[in-house]
Every structure is written in C-alpha cells, then in structure tokens.
C-alpha cells in the first residue's frame, strides 16, 4: 500500500520569477533558426547542514542526481558535468553572498541549483535554491520536509518549481507511471513507479495477465483489467487502503479495459459479448449507466476529452481499426483518422487539442498525434522499431510510450513534439502500456 506524501512547502524565500511566457512575443525575430539550444544549468551536490552520518554522502548526491535526471528528461536543460565543478559543496555556502558565482559562470552555467539538508531521525528537511548566475540573483528558494526515504520526491517537486519559473506551468516530475511488466517471469503484472524508476510498487501479484492500467483523476486509484478470476474483467484498486472492487458484467461478457472520466465519477469501459465489443458508461462500482455504442464490430480503447463531453475510440467499422470521436450529448460519431490502415490506442491530450495514438507504418508501429479536427497526423517516432501505447503527461507537454528499439519493450518519454526521446529506468522485463498519473501531492 502507498503511504501518503508528507511534504509541505514551509515558506517562500523569495518572489518567484516572472513567467517567461509573457516575454515570448518580443524575442521571435532573434531566435528563429537557432534551435536545439538548451539552458545550461549546474546542480551542486547538497550541503549537509546537520550531523554527518553514513547516509550523508548518499543524500547529498542522491537529491542532486534526481534533479539532474528530471532536468535532462525535460529536454529544456543541459546539466553541466559535475566533475568540472570547482567549489566544495560541503564547505561553501548555499545562500547568495556565501559562495562565489564566478566559479559557476566560468563553467558556462547560467542557472545554478544549490541546497542543503538536515536529517532528524527518519525525517529530512531540504532547502533548495535556484540562482541566476549572470544576474547574481536568487530566483527560487524552498524548504521541504519529508521522510528520508522519500528524498527523491523533494527533488522532483523542486524541478517542477524550476520549470514553473521558466514556463509559467509547473513541471510533471512529481508524478508516477502505471505500467504492465513481465519482469517477474511469464506473467503480466501492474506496477507503479516514478519517472526515475524509484518507489516502484507492484499493484497486482496474481500470476495471470493484468492489463490496461488507468489512474483515477485524484491519483488514488488504479483501474485495470485482469484474468485473475479466469474471465477477464475490470478491478478498481484503492492505493491508500489496498482494497479493490471487482466489476462484474450483469448481462455476461467481459470487460477488456476502461478509462476514468475527467471528473472521476464515471468510467467508460469496453465490454465484449458474443464476439462484439462496445463502449459502456459505468459508475465507480461497475454498474452500467448506459450503453454508448451499438455496433456489430470492434469498438475499443476509449479516451475522454478533458471537458468530459467527447470520447475518442477505436472502431473497425470501416474494415480496419481507425479512430472515431463520439459526442456524448448529441450521440453523433465522426471518423478522425483516414491515413494508414491500422490506428489504435488513442489518448486525448490534457489541453484538448490533439490525440496521440499508435499507427502502423509498413510492418512497424509508430506514435502519432492528430488534431481533434482531423487533418494530417504527425509521426513522432521512427519506424525502425515499434513504438506503441502513448500516454500524455498531465501538462500535455510530454508523451510516454513503450518501444522495442533496444530489444525488449521499455518505457520512454519524449516531448510532445517528438524531441528528446529518453528511456526510463527499465525493470528487466518487457514494460508496456504506460499510464501517466495526474500531478501528485
């Protein structure tokens, strides 16, 4: 079972930077054509502000390492190599005026992250600051308190603050990915982990096949489908209590998968009965509210628009799997994809403007996005390997997916443009079907 997060931001040490977005229109002419540059930042190991213990070096570098991981994963920063750092983090200060910014300017750093920590029993207090090296200013200062073993979450939360400073929207690193893995052997079980692979948690351990994990919008439950009772159906697992609810189709059939509505009150589920699959609207206990589609073919993989008014799904009504959008109020359905003969696993973006999905290219599968108004799809991954099952980050600026480009299937994250594709920490087995959590506390 998952214990609740204990972090609190105790106080602000400075006024946050103005969001950079307000200044964007003024710089258009200067930067076009210079793409590919990333903001150079240094992340110092943290200073131990308390008594030295055997754990101190691990925490000093571990918190910094977690921040480096996130900053690089974002694709917006170039983190300068730690081996070139000049000052000793344990003897230099962590507030403006108590260390020499020139030591960092000479390395080429324009931003600098420094901080300190103090361990009391199993509790850790961490101060973190972002400095503007050229302007000699502190841009963010935060103090966090939490359990020692959760120290990485403090790092994730601070990087989310850094990204908020630059973009006006917080980052998404204090989140988790739910996914399916066969790392334990021949069975497929559901796992959760942070993007850096830490705090891995095994949701299912029933030695069968478990698929299609989906987060509740409050981040406290996981909906998944399972063969553990032989006939496939959905289960709703509560992360706080470890209890779960089984969805039993009243009229027979099998639930293949489901997705929470944006308000968390309902679930759209795929029900297979007599060979036909259709979409049904369920309540959180699995009771049918109403049937949404009524076709003799395959209707699967639904995903909600962020306003909860439309559902994108896969249907083979045209003879091959294509994406369709169902308007829940009017009941009308329109076809979204026309290029390619195999388009599946759609997920509607949090911004509402695009749908990410898996499409077949020749004999391979790639991740695409398409405007919800249709038009030409954008291919985000190479067809030199297979990339499948895309899922949006909660801010819509990243996409996680699974790919076999390194042999087995592993999880990857890229920017929504397709840039900066990076592999997440692997389990040792095939990791598939990622589902990105909402922002966590």
Partner 1 sequence: MTPRFRMACYMFMAGITLIGGACAPSATGKPDPSATAGSKSPGGDQRAGEGQRKTGESDTDKSSLKQLQEGKSTATPASSPLKDVFFEFDRYDLTSDARTTLRANADWMKSNSSTRVEIEGHCDERGTNEYNLALGAKRAQAAREFLSTLGIPADRLSTISYGEEIPVCKEASESCWRQNRRARFVIVQGRSTS
Q: Does 226 bind partner 1 (CB under 8 A)?
A: no
- Candidates 60-68, 85-93, 130-138, 149-157: pick the segment binding partner 1 (CB under 8 A): 130-138
- Minimum Å gap between C-beta 385 and partner 1 is 11
- Minimum Å gap between C-beta 377 and partner 1 is 6
Nearer to partner 1, 90 or 208 (CB): 208
- Candidates 81-89, 92-100, 116-124, 386-394: pick the segment binding partner 1 (CB under 8 A): 386-394
- Candidates 37-45, 94-102, 193-201, 214-222: pick the segment binding partner 1 (CB under 8 A): 37-45
Q: Where is 63: in which H helix or E strand?
A: helix 56-74
Q: Which of 120, 287, 341, 441 binds partner 1 (CB under 8 A)?
A: 341
In contact, 379 and 387? CB cutoff 8 Å: no
Q: Report the Cα 193 to chain-centroid distance in Å.
A: 10
Sketch the per residue contact string, 235 through 274, with partner 1: x for CB under 8 A, - otherwise: -------------------x-xx------------x-x-x
Angle at 41 between CA 37 and CA 42, to 5 degrees: 145
Residue 278 CB neighbour total at 10 angstroms:
22
3-state DSSP call for residue 245? strand
Q: Does 106 bind partner 1 (CB under 8 A)?
A: no
CA 399, 405, 409, 410 dihedral sign is negative
Nearer to partner 1, 154 or 267 (CB): 267
| Whole-number Cα distances in Å, 154 to 157, 405, 425 | 5, 32, 19
Q: Does 88 bind partner 1 (CB under 8 A)?
A: no
| Whole-number Cα distances in Å, 340 to 178, 333, 344, 356 | 29, 20, 11, 15
Q: Does 421 bind partner 1 (CB under 8 A)?
A: no
In contact, 337 and 328? CB cutoff 8 Å: no
Nearer to partner 1, 75 or 89 (CB): 75
Nearer to partner 1, 21 or 53 (CB): 21
Nearer to partner 1, 95 or 404 (CB): 404
Collect all residues with Cβ–Cβ distance below 8 Å to 285 and sequence separation of at least 6: 245, 247
Question: Could you say which residues in the range 171-200 bind partner 1, by CB under 8 A?
Answer: 186-188
Collect all residues with Cβ–Cβ distance below 8 Å to 355 and sequence separation of at least 6: 303, 312, 323, 336, 346, 347, 348, 349, 369, 370, 372
Q: Does 2 bind partner 1 (CB under 8 A)?
A: no
Q: Does 103 bind partner 1 (CB under 8 A)?
A: no
DSSP codes, 80-104: PPGGG--S-TTTS-SSTTSS-THHH
- Minimum Å gap between C-beta 358 and partner 1 is 6
Q: Which of 97, 121, 275, 330 binds partner 1 (CB under 8 A)?
A: 275
- Minimum Å gap between C-beta 56 and partner 1 is 33
Nearer to partner 1, 52 or 135 (CB): 135
3-state DSSP call for residue 69? helix
Q: Which of 418, 422, 425, 439 binds partner 1 (CB under 8 A)?
A: 418
In contact, 430 and 181? CB cutoff 8 Å: yes
- Minimum Å gap between C-beta 172 and partner 1 is 15
Question: Could you say which residues in the range 293-322 bind partner 1, by CB under 8 A?
Answer: 298-301, 314, 320-321
Nearer to partner 1, 9 or 31 (CB): 31
3-state DSSP call for residue 283? strand
Q: Does 208 bind partner 1 (CB under 8 A)?
A: yes
Q: Which of 379, 408, 422, 439 binds partner 1 (CB under 8 A)?
A: 379
3-state DSSP call for residue 326? strand
């Amino acid at each position: 079972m998952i214990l609740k997060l204990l972090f609190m931001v105790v106080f602000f040490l400075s006024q946050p930077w103005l969001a950079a977005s307000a200044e964007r229109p003024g710089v258009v002419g200067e930067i076009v054509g210079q793409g590919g540059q990333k903001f150079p930042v240094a992340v110092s190991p943290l200073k131990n502000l308390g008594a030295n213990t055997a754990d101190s070096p691990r925490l000093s570098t571990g918190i910094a390492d977690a921040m480096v991981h996130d900053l690089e994963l974002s694709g917006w920063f170039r983190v300068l190599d730690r081996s070139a750092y000049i000052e000793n983090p344990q003897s230099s200060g962590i507030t403006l005026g108590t260390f020499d910014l020139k030591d960092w300017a000479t390395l080429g750093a324009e931003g600098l992250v420094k901080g300190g920590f103090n361990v009391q029993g199993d509790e850790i207090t961490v101060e973190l600051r972002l400095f503007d090296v050229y302007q000699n200013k502190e841009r963010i200062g935060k103090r966090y308190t939490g359990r020692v073993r959760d120290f990485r979450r403090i790092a994730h939360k601070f990087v989310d603050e850094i990204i908020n400073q630059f973009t006006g929207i917080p980052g998404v690193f204090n989140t988790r990915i739910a996914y399916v893995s066969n790392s334990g052997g021949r069975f497929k079980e559901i796992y959760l982990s942070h993007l850096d692979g830490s705090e891995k948690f095994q949701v299912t351990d029933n030695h069968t096949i478990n698929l299609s994990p989906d987060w509740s919008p409050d981040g406290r439950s996981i909906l998944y489908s399972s063969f553990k009772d032989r006939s496939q159906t959905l289960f709703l697992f509560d992360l706080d209590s470890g209890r779960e609810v089984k969805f039993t189709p009243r009229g027979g059939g099998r639930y293949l998968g489901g997705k929470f509505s944006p308000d968390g009150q309902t679930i759209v589920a795929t029900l297979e009965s007599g060979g036909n699959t259709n979409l049904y609207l369920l309540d959180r206990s699995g009771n049918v509210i109403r049937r949404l589609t009524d076709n003799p073919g395959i209707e699967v993989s639904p995903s909600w628009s962020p306003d909860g008014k439309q559902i994108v799904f896969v249907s083979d009504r045209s003879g091959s799997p294509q994406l369709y959008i169902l308007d829940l109020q009017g009941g009308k359905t329109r076809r979204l994809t026309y290029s390619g003969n195999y388009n599946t696993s759609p997920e509607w973006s949090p911004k509402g403007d695009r749908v990410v999905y898996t499409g077949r290219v020749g004999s391979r599968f790639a991740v695409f996005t398409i405007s919800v108004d249709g038009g030409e799809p954008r291919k985000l991954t190479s067809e030199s390997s297979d990339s499948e099952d895309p899922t949006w980050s909660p801010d819509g600026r990243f996409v996680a997916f699974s790919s076999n480009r390194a042999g087995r299937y592993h999880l990857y994250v890229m920017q929504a443009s397709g840039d900066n594709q990076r592999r997440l920490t692997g389990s040792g087995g095939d990791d598939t079907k990622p589902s990105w959590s909402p922002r966590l506390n």
